[in-house]
């Protein structure tokens, strides 16, 4: 019964003969799938390379692809390449956290060395939230949330239409030039940012000009 799936996993050693049929089944059942590209500052990993899913990269505070040279100083980079669809914020994202030692915030929100940066404050004292969640695993839920928002506004939308809207309304940000690219029908594109950084307001306005 799911309409949207957010997948924050990736490893090229996994067997596509096992995972691809599951992706095909979800696609055939009108499910929008958003998959993290991974955080190695290199080539996109499987299953984000499957053409039936939206491969999601991470943007930084400068609205560019997250790299080790980004303003935040964290020493990771968003994977990029010919399969990328869009990017979304992936640095210092506040989110809920698992309580106790199994969570990221297991020291009362105190100091932590995280991705090569010494943060003085990392969450709340109760351990309910982490303030520095990052990676393409932080970016992908933004896109999945936008997909769910579009479907909640118009339940008749197909997963293909949802993807088209998200890609067509993305903002053309970053330092890499966008260009018309064969096989990329939803606007200008580049291998660092895909169609650009998602824009929730523009995507909603595509469905309803009077929404805002």
Predicted confidence (pLDDT) per residue in 96-148, tens digit: 999 888 999 999 999 999 999 999 999 999 999 999 999 999 999 999 999 99
pLDDT exceeds 80 at position 26? yes
pLDDT band at residue 153 using 50, 70 and 90 as cut-offs: very high
55-64: average pLDDT = 98
d(CA 19, CA 49): 12
User: Which pLDDT score, from 0 to 100, does residue 209 have?
Assistant: 64
Under a CB-based contact definition with an 8 Å cutoff, are residues 188 and 171 in contact? no
């Amino acid at each position: 019964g799911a309409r949207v799936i957010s997948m924050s996993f990736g490893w090229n050693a996994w067997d596509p003969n096992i995972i691809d049929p599951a992706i095909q089944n979800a696609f055939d059942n009108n499910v929008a799938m958003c998959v993290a590209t991974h955080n190695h500052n290199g080539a996109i990993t499987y299953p984000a390379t499957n053409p039936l899913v939206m491969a999601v990269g991470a943007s930084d505070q400068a609205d560019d692809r997250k790299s080790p040279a980004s303003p935040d100083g964290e020493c990771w980079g968003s994977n990029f390449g010919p399969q990328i669809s869009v990017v979304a914020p992936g640095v210092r994202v506040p989110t809920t956290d698992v309580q106790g030692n199994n969570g990221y915030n297991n020291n009362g929100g105190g100091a932590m060395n995280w991705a090569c940066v010494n943060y003085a404050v990392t969450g709340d004292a109760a351990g309910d939230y982490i303030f520095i969640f990052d990676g393409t695993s932080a970016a992908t839920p933004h896109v999945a949330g936008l997909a769910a928002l579009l479907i909640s506004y118009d339940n008749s939308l197909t997963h293909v239409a949802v993807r088209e809207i998200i890609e067509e309304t993305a903002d053309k940000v970053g330092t890499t030039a966008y260009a018309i690219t064969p096989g990329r029908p939803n606007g200008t594109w580049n291998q660092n940012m895909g169609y650009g950084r998602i824009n929730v307001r523009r995507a909603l306005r595509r469905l309803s000009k009077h929404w805002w």
